[in-house]
């Protein structure tokens, strides 16, 4: 079994794979911190020994032969520090979607190639009036862009591996029946369809199959998202990864590998994640248009200047100046600084943003789909009501039922024992306790009476009278009703159910007030779903859903033009979390759900859904401001650098361009820091 980090460790693992980096490039396997600092060491002497776009600095550290050192350091820096951007540009161009990486690659490649050309002219060929170089711009652009990536990677939480977590839900071995009837432990990948496996009490079911012998209760939370266990008996279907209860089951395998239920869920998650990974962020769109503008204006400037002056050198210098000025120094920090600030503010309120794109999409969300169990409700069963029948009192009923259930690991049994403990009721002494498949549990009391915990179906089958109106009222609220039967007579009733979270009402109300449609999705039954939806004021809900059903509902909404946020906590929610425009996992949920999500609500508070929407709105507003500041410099500087106003005597010199470039970078940095959490 592969090593699994704790959830807390994963939540603190900044700088890992998977978060949205500027330009949409996934920096898999790249140690940005090391690459940034090595590049910084290389860049410092370049910046000290050269000047920005020919700007004369008051102090220079140049010395005889320093040009050779600058050229050598720049070559190493271009290859090492610039490699992520060159690789990212190749990926963008292969998808015919030039964006931030392509724009950066254009700038650093032009700056490097032209600077080497100028260096050869000036130093090797001895032409003192040769064209200026752009080594300073090359160094600053690479360092600033790497810094931007590193800042954002530190701020945005690293994505976990949902598929790995899902694969680890299965045991590594299975007890497979041999030809002689004995059972031997066999590696899971060697289990074949048609074989019979034995699943002992407390073990995980190794593969999909049909129960051929034995009876038990199986927790299939990964299928339905519901904590309640289901009865497993001959003829029942069980799923690989579900948890067996107290009995031993013999299962004929019907699905392994890619044909198994869990493998199909993994495929749904994988497909959805791949689709989302290609989604554009706003900075990519801006960078694409700047790339097209820079190339178009630069080529046009070369053609016009060459036609007017006939000097190839001047025309080339003008084109290169346009390309270099288009380098997004400000854009390189515009988004990462906002991301760092917004994720810090979010973390302060228990919102862990794993993918920055979620904050950009949040202001456009108009449908929020929410899982019921664990998201809107507490996710565990509690005793809601205890009623005595006849001469018994409620505490005596609870004591007898706790005595019968105290040795069972069944979720319903555990909640009865827990309720007795909370009320300081000591479980009654019961002997000869036995589980009754499909019914409950029975035993003998101290006075010799026979006690049984049973469901309403058993009472109907045995013609034992009970209050049907009370049963209808309790079950109509989505509660599970159990009866205490002593010597064939009902003595008490216990109703158990999942409790709605206190903040769920306010969260739903605020969503509706904003014009956002809340939709509840659940694997639970219709009655339980309707009761919760009615209580919370949710008009639209779907019950009895499997993971693929939730994915289809999310996709249907997206196909209709809605922007969908999905909120869930279970394995069965993972595909829908990955498919939605924004996937939000409850912090108390499963590892798989957390690793499939874009944002994690650490406090598991439904009201944090609204806080996330507010944070997204504020963040997107600040991002747009910074993009205008960053791109605004390019919008003004590129045409002036090309010489569109040269006929009236206005020509942007490289030195002035360098000053404007630095000024825009400072402005976006200050603006990012003004982001507030309200």
Between 91-105, 231-245, 319-333, 388-402, the lowest mean confidence (pLDDT) is in 319-333
Q: State the chain's mean pLDDT as an integer.
A: 80
Residue 344: band (very low, low, confident or very high) from pLDDT cuts 50, 70, 90: confident
Distance of alpha carbon 506 from the chain centroid: 25
Between 256-260, 456-460, 495-499, the lowest mean confidence (pLDDT) is in 256-260
- pLDDT score, position 19: 40
Average pLDDT over residues 415-420: 91
- pLDDT score, position 409: 67
Which three-class secondary structure state does DSSP give residue 159?
coil
- pLDDT score, position 506: 95
Residue 369: band (very low, low, confident or very high) from pLDDT cuts 50, 70, 90: very high
Is the model more confident about 258 or about 490?
490
Element spanning 436, H or E: strand 430-436
Q: From the candidates 20, 133, 371, 524, which is the catalytic residue?
A: 371
Is the model more confident about 2 or about 178?
178
Would strands 517-521 and 540-542 be described as parallel, antiparallel, or unpaired?
A: parallel
Is 17's pLDDT higher than 70? no
Is the model more confident about 335 or about 416?
416
Q: Is 371 a catalytic residue?
A: yes
Is 271's pLDDT higher than 90? no
Percentage of the chain surpassing pLDDT 90? 30
Residue 452: band (very low, low, confident or very high) from pLDDT cuts 50, 70, 90: very high
What distance in Å separates the CA atoms of residue 466 and residue 460, rounded to the nearest whole number? Answer: 9
Most confident of 10-19, 119-128, 156-165, 647-656: 119-128
Per-residue b or e along 187-220, where b marks 16 or more CB atoms closer than 10 Å to that residue's CB? ebeebeeebbbbbeeebbbbbbbebeebbbbbbb
Between 277-281, 294-298, 329-333, 671-675, the lowest mean confidence (pLDDT) is in 277-281
Which two three-digit tokens encode residue 158? 């690293």
Is 407's pLDDT higher than 70? yes
Residue 513: band (very low, low, confident or very high) from pLDDT cuts 50, 70, 90: very high
Query: Helix 100-119 to helix 66-80 angle, to the nearest 10 degrees?
Result: 160
Among 649, 663, 531, 543, which Cα is nearest to 224's? 543
Is the model more confident about 125 or about 555?
555
Most confident of 159-173, 337-351, 449-463: 449-463
Is 10's pLDDT higher than 50? no
What distance in Å separates the CA atoms of residue 656 and residue 640, rounded to the nearest whole number? Answer: 11
What distance in Å separates the CA atoms of residue 52 and residue 140, rounded to the nearest whole number? Answer: 9
Most confident of 22-26, 341-345, 611-615: 611-615
Is 646's pLDDT higher than 80? no
Average pLDDT over residues 643-649: 74
Most confident of 121-125, 155-159, 459-463, 512-516: 512-516
Is the model more confident about 39 or about 673?
39
Question: What sign for the dihedral angle of Cα 627, 630, 636, 642?
Answer: negative
Is the model more confident about 315 or about 487?
487
- pLDDT score, position 11: 34
Average pLDDT over residues 380-391: 87
- pLDDT score, position 4: 33
In the chain, what are the helix, strand and coil shares in percent, each to the nearest 5?
55, 20, 30
- pLDDT score, position 609: 94
Average pLDDT over residues 518-532: 86
Is 532's pLDDT higher than 80? yes
Average pLDDT over residues 395-418: 87
What distance in Å separates the CA atoms of residue 122 and residue 292, rounded to the nearest whole number? Answer: 32
Torsion, CA 110, CA 114, CA 115, CA 119, rounded to 10: 160
Is 286's pLDDT higher than 70? yes
Question: For the chain, which domains are there?
Answer: 31-170+258-365+581-677 (1.20.1110), 192-256 (2.70.150.10), 381-498 (3.40.1110.10)
Is 20's pLDDT higher than 50? no
Cβ neighbours of residue 428 under 8 Å, at least 6 residues apart?
399, 400, 402, 403, 445, 446
Radius of gyration of the chain (CA): 33
Is the model more confident about 463 or about 127?
463
- pLDDT score, position 6: 34
Residue 26: band (very low, low, confident or very high) from pLDDT cuts 50, 70, 90: very low
Mind giving me the DSSP string for 125-147? Answer: S--TTPPP--HHHHHHHHHHHHH
Is the model more confident about 119 or about 344?
119
Most confident of 147-156, 305-314, 465-474, 633-642: 465-474
- pLDDT score, position 308: 83
Beta bridge partners of 565: 368, 582
Percentage of the chain surpassing pLDDT 70? 81
Q: What is the pLDDT of residues 550-603, one digit of tens each?
A: 999 999 999 999 999 999 887 778 888 889 999 998 876 556 667 778 888 878
Average pLDDT over residues 449-467: 92
Q: What is the pLDDT of residues 148-200, one digit of tens each?
A: 778 766 655 444 455 555 566 678 889 999 999 999 999 988 888 899 999 99
List of long-range contacts for 557-566, beta carbons under 8 Å, 24+ apart:
557/367, 557/369, 562/366, 562/367, 563/361, 563/364, 563/365, 563/366, 563/367, 564/365, 564/367, 564/368, 564/369, 565/362, 565/365, 565/367, 565/368, 565/369, 565/609, 566/368, 566/369, 566/370
Cβ(621)–Cβ(289) under 8 Å? no
Q: What is the pLDDT of residues 54-73, one digit of tens each?
A: 555 566 677 888 889 999 99
Residue 131: band (very low, low, confident or very high) from pLDDT cuts 50, 70, 90: low
Q: What is the pLDDT of residues 223-251, one digit of tens each?
A: 555 555 677 889 988 888 788 877 899 99
- pLDDT score, position 30: 47
Could you tell me the pTM of the whole model?
0.65
Residue 387: band (very low, low, confident or very high) from pLDDT cuts 50, 70, 90: very high
Is 540's pLDDT higher than 90? yes
Beta bridge partners of 564: 367
Which three-class secondary structure state does DSSP give residue 169?
coil
- pLDDT score, position 241: 79
């Amino acid at each position: 079994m592969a090593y699994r980090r704790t959830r807390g460790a994963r939540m603190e693992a900044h700088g890992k794979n998977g978060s949205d980096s500027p330009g949409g490039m996934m920096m898999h396997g790249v140690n940005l911190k090391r690459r940034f600092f090595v590049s910084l060491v290389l860049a410092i002497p370049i910046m000290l020994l050269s000047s920005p776009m020919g700007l004369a600095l008051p102090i220079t550290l140049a010395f005889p032969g320093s040009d050779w050192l600058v050229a050598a350091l720049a070559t190493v820096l271009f290859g090492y520090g610039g490699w992520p951007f060159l690789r990212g540009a190749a990926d963008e161009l292969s998808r015919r979607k030039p964006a931030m990486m392509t724009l950066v690659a254009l700038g650093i490649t032009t700056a490097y190639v032209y600077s080497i050309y100028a260096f050869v002219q000036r130093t090797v060929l001895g032409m003192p009036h040769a064209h200026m170089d752009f080594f300073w711009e090359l160094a600053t652009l690479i360092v600033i862009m790497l810094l931007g990536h590193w800042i954002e990677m530190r701020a945005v939480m690293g994505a976990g591996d949902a598929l790995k977590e899902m694969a680890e839900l299965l045991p590594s071995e299975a007890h497979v029946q041999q030809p002689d009837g004995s059972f031997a432990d066999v590696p899971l990948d060697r289990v074949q369809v048609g074989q019979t496996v034995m699943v002992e009490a407390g073990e995980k079911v190794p593969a999909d199959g049909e129960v051929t012998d034995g009876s038990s209760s199986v927790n299939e939370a990964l299928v339905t998202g519901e904590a309640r266990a289901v009865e497993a008996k001959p003829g029942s279907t069980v799923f690989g990864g579900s948890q067996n209860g107290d009995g031993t089951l013999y299962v004929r395998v019907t699905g392994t590998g890619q044909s198994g239920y869990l493998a199909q869920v993994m495929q749904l998650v994988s497909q959805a994640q791949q689709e989302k990974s290609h989604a554009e962020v706003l900075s990519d769109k801006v960078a694409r248009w700047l790339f097209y503008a820079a190339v178009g204006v630069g080529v046009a400037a070369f053609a016009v200047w060459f036609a007017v002056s006939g000097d190839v050198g001047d025309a080339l210098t003008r084109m290169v100046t346009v390309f270099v000025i288009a380098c997004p120094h400000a854009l390189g920090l515009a988004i990462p600084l906002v991301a760092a600030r917004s994720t810090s503010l979010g973390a302060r309120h228990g919102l862990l943003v794993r993918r920055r794109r979620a904050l950009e999409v949040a202001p456009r969300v108009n449908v929020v789909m929410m899982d019921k169990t664990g998201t809107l409700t507490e996710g565990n069963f509690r005793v809601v009501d205890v009623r005595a029948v006849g001469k018994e009192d409620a505490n005596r009923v609870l004591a007898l039922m706790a005595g019968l259930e105290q040795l069972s690991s069944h979720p319903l049994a555990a909640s009865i024992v827990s309720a007795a403990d909370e009320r300081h009721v000591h479980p009654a002494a019961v002997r000869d306790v036995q589980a009754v498949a499909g019914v409950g549990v029975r035993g003998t009391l101290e006075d010799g009476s026979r006690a049984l915990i049973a469901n309403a179906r058993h009472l109907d089958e045995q013609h034992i009278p009970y209050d049907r109106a009370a049963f209808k009222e309790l079950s109509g609220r989505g509660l599970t009703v159990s009866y205490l039967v002593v010597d064939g007579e009902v003595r008490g009733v216990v109703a158990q159910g999942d409790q709605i979270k206190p903040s769920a009402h306010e969260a739903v109300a605020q969503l509706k007030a904003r014009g956002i449609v809340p939709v509840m999705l659940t694997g639970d039954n219709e009655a339980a779903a309707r009761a919760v939806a009615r209580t919370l004021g949710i008009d639209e809900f779907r019950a009895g859903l499997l993971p693929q059903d939730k994915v289809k509902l999310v996709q249907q909404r997206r196909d209709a033009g809605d922007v969908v946020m999905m909120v869930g906590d279970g394995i069965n929610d993972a595909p829908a979390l990955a498919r939605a425009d924004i996937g939000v996992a409850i912090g108390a949920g499963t590892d798989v759900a957390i690793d499939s999500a874009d944002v994690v609500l650490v406090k598991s508070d439904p009201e944090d859904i609204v806080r996330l929407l507010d944070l997204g709105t504020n963040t997107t507003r600040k991002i747009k401001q910074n993009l205008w500041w960053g791109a605004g410099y390019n919008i003004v500087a590129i045409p002036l650098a090309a010489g569109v106003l040269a006929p009236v005597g206005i020509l942007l010199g490289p030195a002035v361009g360098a000053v404007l470039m630095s000024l825009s970078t400072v402005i976006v940095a200050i603006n990012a820091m003004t982001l507030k959490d309200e």
